[in-house]
Each structure stands twice: as C-alpha cells, then as structure tokens.
Amino acid sequence: MVQHLMTHSGCQCGRSWDSTLYAMPRPGSCNCTGPHGIPWIFNRWSGGWKCGVHPHWTRSMQCVPKYMETMCSEMDNCNIQPRVRWLTFLRDPVSRFISEWQMVIRAGGGWGPEDATCGNFQPQLGYMERCRWDTVPKKVKRTGVATKNLTFEEFLSCPANLGYNRQTRMLADFSLLNCHNLTARNYKDMQRKMLQSAKDNLAKLDFFGLTEYQTKTQILFEKTFHVKFDVEFMNAHTIASSKYQDVTEEQLDKTRMHNQLDIQLYEFAQQLFLTRTRKFNISAKEKR
C-alpha cells in the first residue's frame, strides 16, 4: 500500500495515480483496492480523511497502522500484512507559502491548532495570539467569506501562523520534540531538532518528488515502483508571475526569513532528489 504524506506542495500526483485506474468525482470516491481487498493507495482521493485533515508525519505513523489493522479485522480471511510504502512531495517554500495565503483567501484554509494533535498532546500556543483565520468556525471558514479580504501582509505578520515552515513541521517527528509545546525548550534548539528530524524522515521515505520537477518526479516514481502512468503528472497550483504583483520584495524577504527551515529542507531535498534521479539515469533536461 502507498501512503501519501501531505506537505501541501500543490502537486496533483495523487489524482494522477487514481485517475490511471479509476474515475474520482470527489475525495473518498476511488475504490483503489488490490486483489485481496487491500487498498493500494491511501490518500484523501481513495479513502477520505481517515487520519484527519492533512495529517502530519507523527499522526500518520500513529494512525495508518491502526487503520489497516481495523480494516483487516473487518475482512473475511484476512491473513495478509500489507506493506506500507511512504511517499511525499515538496515544493519551493516561497511559492508554497504564497499559495497557502491564496488558499486561505479562497477557502479559509484547512488547518488550525486543533488539527495538529500529536498523540495525547495538543498544540501549546497559549503564549501567542491565534491568527484571525484560525479563530473562524470551520463551517464559515470553508466558504472563504471571512478571509476573502486577507492581505498578504496580515498573513505574513501573524506570529502564530502555522504556514511558517509547514513542510518541515509536517515531516518532523513531534514525539521527539514534546510535540508542539514550544515553551518546553529553547526555541532555536527545538527548530534545529525539528529540521533534522524532517531531513531524516524524508531520507527514509520510499519515495518523494518535487513539485517543480513534475516530469522527473513521474519518471522516478515509475522506475522506483515499476509502474507506468496513463496520466501525466501536472502542477495545477503553479504560481503565475501575475500572482506576485501584490507581493513586494520586502515581503518576499520576510517570507524567506520566516520559512528558513523549509528553505534548508528543500535544499537538502533537491540534492537527495538529484542523487536518486542520477541513480536511474534520468536526464537532467526537463520541461518545467
């Protein structure tokens, strides 16, 4: 079974996987099962949000094995222990952060401190004032009405913005960091350990791709898992240059400053991605 770890990279690869075999009018509508009734892919398109909306590494590692055990217990003659192959996708941190702002404007965003549980811990952000868009009730948030006038400056300036370094946090093992309790230890030390944890976990994954390199990512996936896609990978959320018009150079500098962990993680990912593509002799030439 393939488990897609979400990092909000903007890649539509999950749809490409499912579209190769099935039609998917909505999340959870793909009956992506193998010959033994075990799903071959575990993501929102194949099974819905079984582990919560956009689960991070720690929650996924706790949830997926339990879900598989429960699913197997409900099947007749289930004597197969499915092997889980973990994968994810990363994106240029500046583009990803701006894209998240646009998603919050459009649909209120899908996250909040209440969604970031880790084991028996809840995020400890009491020393920060929650961002305005995180205080909106979920039913109202999804309409985008309360956030349609959210400026990038406001989004960028909220100290409790969980969009900062989201990819690093999604891949880090919070059981090593006392979860989200940032007051429990030195902040810089916590950040250093969170980044190292994210790098270690990324390197352990069976596969990861980069949103900016769709063709290489698809070829690498096909060679890694010995499959062939009927539908080409695409990046439906690529930020056009026009979307940068309202973002100043000063704001871009602030974005880089607030997302330093993600930038370092992405640099590490690019080097590791290059190593893996070279292993399979994948050409450096690609239409991006």
Give the catalytic positions in this structure.
Answer: 54
What is the dihedral sign for C-alpha 153, 159, 165, 166?
Answer: negative
Q: Work out the end-to-end distance of the chain between its first and last CA atoms, rounded to an integer number of angstroms.
A: 29
Asked if 212 and 288 touch (Cβ cutoff 8 Å), the reply is: yes
Distance CA 140, CA 135 (A): 10
Asked if 156 and 251 touch (Cβ cutoff 8 Å), the reply is: yes
Written as one letter, the residue type at 148 is: K
